[in-house]
């Protein structure tokens, strides 16, 4: 294992310090326990958005703290849920008095710890659980999927709505509607190496790929031999479009996310192929996103997310955002 670090135990702490220094105009980073809040927190009278999860997925979630997205994020140790005391400290620092929406990916540990913290805080709150993974097909039952790269879309849309003055119930409803309008599927060419473990989570052969992989390197729906990008992306787009029951003429956001070890030249190639198959289905791509937005340490691979758009989603997607890892003004 070769990584830029001093020791595995201090890796997260040192990384968060660097993040705070590099983005001191946007966020404040707290230690003991760790959490990140936007610099102007608390924003009084606005619904507070708090998310979090294990580290190793950067820029998720800390990179999306700021105007137009999250008010706070709680980073756990690598691939480990944040603790209730982290979440409770973030709540007490960031709450603006209009209630808290916890955006918590569909993993048992994350949900349990956020629920514990919410009960301890005794404050008006609601939960929104991203579960955008495609789970249909011969190898998977029809159950809620894991939270994947589509979490970024939810945080962006709901974050804009909160800035626009939506109340807690409306923010939650919007997030749930966005979650139902999207599906994601991942593929890995290699595994990843958590520093504390020192070895790959799994072994993917030089001539293999893992289709349907999760963002922690969990096994996917099937192990396949390497194939051309066209054949791979066709399977992914077909699975996503079928699960969403997309119809010709519908308007979509097409999002290709890198898992940490795949260069942009390959991600844009994947986007080109995915766009072709979407056009073949007569889908209208009106918004796009390509890059490393929800990673899995140094895993080589990517995920594809398709989100069905309507006028409200487009308006909130286009709403100005200013965070360390997503920013635009329109």
Show which residues are catalytic.
Answer: 57, 216
* 72-78 and 35-38 beta bridge pairing: antiparallel
| Nearest to 193, CA basis, from 263, 261, 147, 292 | 261
For CA atoms 65, 185, 273, 224, give the dihedral sign. positive
Q: How would you list the strands of the sheet with 327-328, edge to edge?
A: 66-67, 321-323, 327-328
Contact between residue 16 and residue 65 where contact means Cβ atoms under 8 Å apart? no
Q: Which of 243, 247, 248 is nearest to 304 (CA)?
A: 243
Q: Which residue has the tokens 């009084």?
A: 44
């Amino acid at each position: 294992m070769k990584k830029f670090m001093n020791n595995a135990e201090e890796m997260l702490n040192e990384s968060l310090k660097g993040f705070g220094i590099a983005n001191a105009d946007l966020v404040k980073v707290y230690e003991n326990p760790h959490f990140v809040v936007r610099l102007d927190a608390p924003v009084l009278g606005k619904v507070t958005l708090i998310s979090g999860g294990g580290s190793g997925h950067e820029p998720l979630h800390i990179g999306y703290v700021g105007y137009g997205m999250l008010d706070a994020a709680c980073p756990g140790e690598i691939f480990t849920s944040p603790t209730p005391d982290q979440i409770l400290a973030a709540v007490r620092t960031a709450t603006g008095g209009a209630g808290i929406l916890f955006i918590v990916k569909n993993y048992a540990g994350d949900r349990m710890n956020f629920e514990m913290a919410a009960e301890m805080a005794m404050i008006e709150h609601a939960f929104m659980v991203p579960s955008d993974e495609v789970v249909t097909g011969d190898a998977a039952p029809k159950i809620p999927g894991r939270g994947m790269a589509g979490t970024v879309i939810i945080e962006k849309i709901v974050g804009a709505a909160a800035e626009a003055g939506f109340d807690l119930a409306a923010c939650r409803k919007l997030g749930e509607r966005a979650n139902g309008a999207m599906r994601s599927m991942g593929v890995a060419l290699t595994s990843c190496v958590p520093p504390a473990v020192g070895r790959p989570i799994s072994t993917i052969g030089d001539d293999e790929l893992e289709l349907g992989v999760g963002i922690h390197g969990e096994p996917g729906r099937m192990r396949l031999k390497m194939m051309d990008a066209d054949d791979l992306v066709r399977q992914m787009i077909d699975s996503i479009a079928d699960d969403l029951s997309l119809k010709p003429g519908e308007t979509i956001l097409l999002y290709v996310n890198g898992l940490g070890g795949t260069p942009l030249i390959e991600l844009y190639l994947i986007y080109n192929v995915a766009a072709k198959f979407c056009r073949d289905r007569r889908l209208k791509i009106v918004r796009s996103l390509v890059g490393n937005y929800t990673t899995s340490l140094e895993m080589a691979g990517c995920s594809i997310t398709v989100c069905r758009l309507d006028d409200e989603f487009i308006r909130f997607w286009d709403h100005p955002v200013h965070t360390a890892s997503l920013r635009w003004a329109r």
